[in-house]
Amino acid sequence: FKILEEGIALSPSDVDAVWVNGYGFPKWRGGPMYYADNDLEGKLPYLLSRLEYYYNKYPNCPHFKPSSLLIECVEKDISLSKLWKNKMTPIH
């Protein structure tokens, strides 16, 4: 989520391509962003709560700090792909 938030990757599918082809993420999972949207459906609040727990426990470890995109997905009860599509759609 943070890599999108920081503008390092342009889309969730870019993140998936790097993880599947570069880091060995299981292809059958489709990449971490796809996995989060499909296999973790309804589990993002749990992911957020665990990140918050570890960030509170280890505040000097910034990689535990939840991204604002994850927080927004949980608050709006929406998948990353739907949230990202809405964010990237130009408003006329």
pLDDT at 68: 92
For residue 90, pLDDT over 60 is answered with: no
Integer Cα distance of 44 and 40 in angstroms: 7
Instruction: Give residue-wise pLDDT tens across range 41-68.
Output: 678 898 899 999 999 999 999 999 999 9
- Estimate to the nearest angstrom the gap between the alpha carbon of 53 and the chain centroid: 17
Integer Cα distance of 4 and 10 in angstroms: 6
Q: Which of these, 46, 20, 23, lies nearest to 33 by C-alpha position?
A: 20
Instruction: Give residue-wise pLDDT tens across range 12-29.
Output: 899 999 999 999 988 988
Q: Is the dihedral of CA 69, 15, 53, 67 positive or negative?
A: negative
Q: Which of these, 27, 5, 2, lies nearest to 17 by C-alpha position?
A: 27
Which has the higher per-residue pLDDT, 52 or 10? 52
For residue 92, pLDDT over 80 is answered with: no
For the entire predicted model, the pTM comes to: 0.77
